[in-house]
Amino acid sequence: MKKSIPRELAECGATTAIVLGSGLGEFAAGLEHIGSHEYSGLGLPASKVPGHAGRFVVVRLVDRPLLIAQGRVHLYEGWEASEVVSAVVMMHEIGIRTLILTNAAGTVKPEFMPGSWMMLSDHLNLTGQTPLRGGPHFVDMSEVYSRRLRQIFHRVASRQGTILHEGVYAAMHGPQYETPAEVRMLQRLGADAVGMSTVPEAIQARALGMEAAAFSCLTNWGAGLSPDLLSHDEVTSVGKSAAGSLIEILREALPLI
Ligand code: HPA
């Protein structure tokens, strides 16, 4: 599909954007909306997964425009890595230089309780795919998630008395959840959380020179770490109830970026 960027979006003036994952779509509620653009009208792929809308919303946060990407598409839906990151490429084209990614993830570290948030310090790309296939080649990945941004978010979280873990996110292709053996493997590989998104977008953001941060809402124990079975409905509902504490952190931290 041909991409077309309406002038209102191209000139929205936002330099920071947030991509909202499962259950976090409500972040934009209660903020002053300046404009809204469905992905389908922009030539971007849109998800059919419940809990993932597909639109850009421009809001005003403390007198500055902020771009919110409500929903994303995933490799497991059958999209190519280049399609999964096409919204990130468009955001860069319209002037976004700081990208905040959010997702829902299973916790694989026993100390990180479901219902809490983890900021990504690093990732393991276990999807077998990359948006950089075909170039650019050999992009440095030493600091995909900005140290500077992490310091700001930690400062704000501790001022607010909110637990904000930091750890390594393992990206799996999905769409099935992991087996208990896979979760044990991930623990041995050094992962703290596991999910099915974010990493292609973070790799693309790095390649474009954007400053990125990412947050996982730890919605459930990884398979085998509790007697419960995993369900998407539970992931979405835990994500919704945990959203408030990240929203508070972002509202205070974003003006400091
Ligand atoms: N595994 C993979 N993706 C997820 C999980 C999980 O346990 N929870 C939410 N997204």
Distance 214 CA to ligand 1 centre (A): 15
Would you state the pLDDT for residue 12? 94
Residues with pLDDT less than 70, the chain: 1-2, 22-23, 49-52
Domain limits for position 106: 7-256
Catalytic machinery residues: 22, 52, 74, 76-77, 104, 196-197, 220, 232
Kindly state whether residue 143 falls inside one of the protein's structural domains.
Answer: yes
Would you state the pLDDT for residue 2? 61
Kindly state whether residue 1 falls inside one of the protein's structural domains.
Answer: no
CATH number at residue 33: 3.40.50.1580
Amino acid letter, residue 130? T
**pLDDT tens profile 177-233:** 999 999 999 999 999 999 999 999 999 999 999 999 999 999 999 999 999 888 888
Residue having the nearest C-alpha atom to atom 6 of ligand 1? 106
Distance CA 216, CA 112 (A): 11
Global confidence as pTM: 0.96
Would you state the pLDDT for residue 63? 85
Kindly state whether residue 2 falls inside one of the protein's structural domains.
Answer: no
Domain count along the chain:
1
Would you state the pLDDT for residue 117? 96
Would you state the pLDDT for residue 51? 54
